[in-house]
Structure 1
Amino acid sequence: MAKLQNRVPKTELVRARSILATKQASELLDLPPFSDVFHIERVRYLEDRPVVYVTNYIRPEMVPTLLENDLTQSLTDLYREQFGLVYCQTRYRVSTTSLLGEMAQALRATAGSPAMLVERLNYDQDGNLIDCDLEYWRHDALSIESLATLKR
């Protein structure tokens, strides 16, 4: 999307590992306690300015060799090209939060700065939940625009 807007995107990998699902990841991915998940953290840039800190929780049974790939590229493209999975449904939730600790530092923001949190649950072509991502956007880097058309 950034390239379509003539912007220069970049992704930096902070960490990628297999972990026991946190309470939040278990709830979002509808997993039983003590399940394994892939946990990926990345910072995304526009014109070398950090704009969003993204945390992904991924069901490893859907993409077992994911961590062996270059995770600075699009996960959507990796899912399609390496695993034959295509996002066919996404549930969004948008709320506000504050940037703290490592996240604030990575986004070159003061701890406690406001942020927009975009939570996404992504489903494949068979209706299976693949992953969720938590996008922590700098408050000054995001604008949401929508057009609603009513049927008559």
Structure 2
Amino acid sequence: MSSKAADVIASALRERIETGEFTGGRLPAERTLSEHYATTRITLREALGLLEAQGIIYREVRRGWFVAPPRLIYNPSHHSHFHAMALEQGRVATTQVIEAREVSAQLTVARHLHLCEGDTVYRIRRLRRVDGRAVLYVEHYLNPAYFPGLLSEDLTRSLTELYTQRYDIRYGGARFTILPGPLPSRAAPALNVASGTPGLLITRINRDQHDRVIDCDCEYWRYDALCVDVEV
């Protein structure tokens, strides 16, 4: 349970954030804040943790604390691609390709794609940013039978558009699994957080217009960057 002192500091910091005091969105160093509030670093970090849990601030490894921008609204039932989704909300999205190659499918991925364990699949690892902030590390697994030559394409662009324009493949149905949990060691560094930091894993298995399973996305989101909003 949080101490009264931490609650008071968190409330004071929140008021300062809401008035736009921190130019550039970066909070002062922890030492500066602890001196300002005449408190210990332990109590200050408790207060910062309270604000982090509320999605008001976020932390990056070796960089410090920042005011959190509005969460990206994400409706998994829509097939609007990442860049379009961000643009619709007045945000700027960018994509960085970390890796793109053929690999042997592990059992879980093989089952998702209706293949056999060890079959060849395309694996594309990408880091996605909103307004310059890394918010999503994603691994795409594709059945190469449907996408010959895809690895030679510009993979910073939308795969949704690439599927349609080059392969005449459009998304049909999809199955989603959404689970909270710690970010794995392969995703956390890319998102500028410590391994084990809370995150959100969204697994999406996609079918095309002919009801064929064509790919599987494993999305690792910073939990403080996303709001899942689905209208039924």
Indicate the residue corresponding to 1:80 in structure 2: 164
Aligned: 1:25 with 2:109: yes
One-letter amino acid of the structure 2 residue matched with residue 126 of structure 1: H
Indicate the residue corresponding to 1:50 in structure 2: 134
One-letter amino acid of the structure 1 residue matched with residue 122 of structure 2: F
One-letter amino acid of the structure 2 residue matched with residue 59 of structure 1: N
Given that 2:105 and 2:117 are in contact with CA atoms closer than 8 Å, whether structure 1 keeps it comes out as: yes
Given that 2:113 and 2:215 are in contact with CA atoms closer than 8 Å, whether structure 1 keeps it comes out as: yes
In structure 1, the residue corresponding to 2:214 is in which secondary structure?
strand
Indicate the residue corresponding to 2:79 in structure 1: none
- Distance in 1 separating the partners of 2:186 and 2:111: 24
One-letter amino acid of the structure 2 residue matched with residue 121 of structure 1: I
Report the Cα offset of residue 90 of structure 1: 1.3
Given that 2:107 and 2:116 are in contact with CA atoms closer than 8 Å, whether structure 1 keeps it comes out as: no
Report the Cα offset of residue 35 of structure 1: 0.6
Aligned residues: CA RMSD: 1.0
Which consecutive unaligned segments of at least 5 residues does structure 1 have? none
| Alignment deviations for residues 64-98 of structure 1 (CA, whole Å, 9 cap, x no partner) | 11101000110111000010000011111111121
Q: Which has the higher Rg, Structure 1 or Structure 2?
A: 2
> Which one has more relative contact order, counting CA pairs under 8 Å at least 6 apart?
1
- Distance in 1 separating the partners of 2:186 and 2:177: 23
State the identity %: 38
Indicate the residue corresponding to 1:89 in structure 2: 173
- Distance in 1 separating the partners of 2:177 and 2:186: 23
The number of equivalent residue pairs is 148
Higher strand share: 1
Report the Cα offset of residue 111 of structure 1: 1.1
Indicate the residue corresponding to 1:100 in structure 2: 184
Which consecutive unaligned segments of at least 5 residues does structure 2 have? 1-84
